[in-house]
Amino acid sequence: MMEKLLQLEKVSIDDGLGRALIKNASLTIFQGEFIGIVGESGSGKTLTVKSALDLLPDHLVITSGVRQLLGKELNGLSSKDKRRLIGAGIGFVPQNTVVFLHPMIKIKYQMIDAYLYHIDNDKKQALKKASDLLEKVGIKEPKRVLNAYPKQLSGGMQQRVNIAMALMTDPKLIVADEPTTALDTVVQRQVMELFNQLNQSEGVSILFISHDLKIVKQFCQRMYVMYQGEIVESGETHEIFTNPKHSYTQKLLSLIPTLTNLSMDKFG
């Protein structure tokens, strides 16, 4: 049996006023897997994953369930230990529509923080690693990028920086929350190839959240389908695509031919 990197068991989340946002979500990721979570916006994909990474906003409450990360039970850890575990063990790549990079700090000073704090307090080493990783994610002039502010980079570049930053601590698992949403199709493809390559050649597990079924079909080995705060279906990707059981999944799949147009409309 391979190592379990992340496991949620029957996690429920409440908005603090008694309304359930997530109901009994269970989810497991093993080492080396490329997993997809699909569902429309508002279905609770992001919230589920954020609960696993202890990133929920303060007003939301986890009412029940067990969350395990890298073999450790999250509820049993002090907040400091949780920070350490997540910071060092997991990389997070956000939607590139959000201002994830601090707009007023040069890239290099943002990239090295996690490394300095979790791995080795050696600035030179950290900068070298940052530069290497930028090259690895396909940036040709890492020096220039390191000395730039986020605004000086294009959206695609910023997303590469985000990915490189997520890799700074050599995590076993990367969680990517709709990482290609607002990118054009060429860059989208490049970014996905990058994730794929990390997964294939380095064995990094990827948890990929998306509403783009085509991408999920192409890259993910297993997938979860979320609908209105519940995981309605899960299993091998090709299995689900050939033989969807839940009516929502069936509806989703029937939309595939027009999906490209749809996503263009949404973000165009």
Partner 1 sequence: MLSFIIKRLISGLTVLFFISIITFFVLRWMPGDPATLSLGTEGTPEKIAELQEVMGLNLPWYQQYYHWIQDLFSGDWGSSYVFGEDVMTLIIQRLPVTLLLAAVSMVIVIPFAFIIGIMSALFKERWVDYIARSLMQLGDAVPQFWLALIFLVFFASKLGWFPVAGYVGFDDGILASIHSVLLPAIVLAIGQVGPLIRIIRSSMLSSLEQDYMLMTQVNGLPKTLAIVKYALRGASIAPLTIIGMQLANMLAGAILVENIFALPGIGRLLLMTVEQRDLILLQGMVIFVTSAVVLVNILTDICYRLANPMIRFGGNHE
Q: Which residues sit at the interface with partner 1, rule CB under 8 A?
A: 53-55, 80, 83-88, 90, 92, 94, 98-105, 109-110, 113-114, 117-118, 149, 151-152, 165, 169
Angle formed at CA 174 by CA 117 and CA 139, multiple of 5 degrees: 80
- Beta strand pairing call for 34-38 and 222-227: parallel
Nearer to partner 1, 2 or 99 (CB): 99
**In angstroms, rounded to a whole number, what is the distance separating the alpha carbons of residues 231 and 11?**
11
Shortest distance, CB of residue 31 to partner 1, whole angstroms? 20
Shortest distance, CB of residue 117 to partner 1, whole angstroms? 6
Nearer to partner 1, 120 or 193 (CB): 120
Q: Is 191 exposed, middle or buried (0-12, 13-18, 19+ CB in 10 A)?
A: buried
Shortest distance, CB of residue 150 to partner 1, whole angstroms? 8
Angle formed at CA 81 by CA 79 and CA 82, multiple of 5 degrees: 60
Nearer to partner 1, 50 or 211 (CB): 50
Nearer to partner 1, 137 or 213 (CB): 137
Shortest distance, CB of residue 42 to partner 1, whole angstroms? 19
Nearer to partner 1, 34 or 92 (CB): 92
Shortest distance, CB of residue 125 to partner 1, whole angstroms? 17
Nearer to partner 1, 37 or 223 (CB): 37
Shortest distance, CB of residue 58 to partner 1, whole angstroms? 11
**In angstroms, rounded to a whole number, what is the distance separating the alpha carbons of residues 51 and 71?**
16
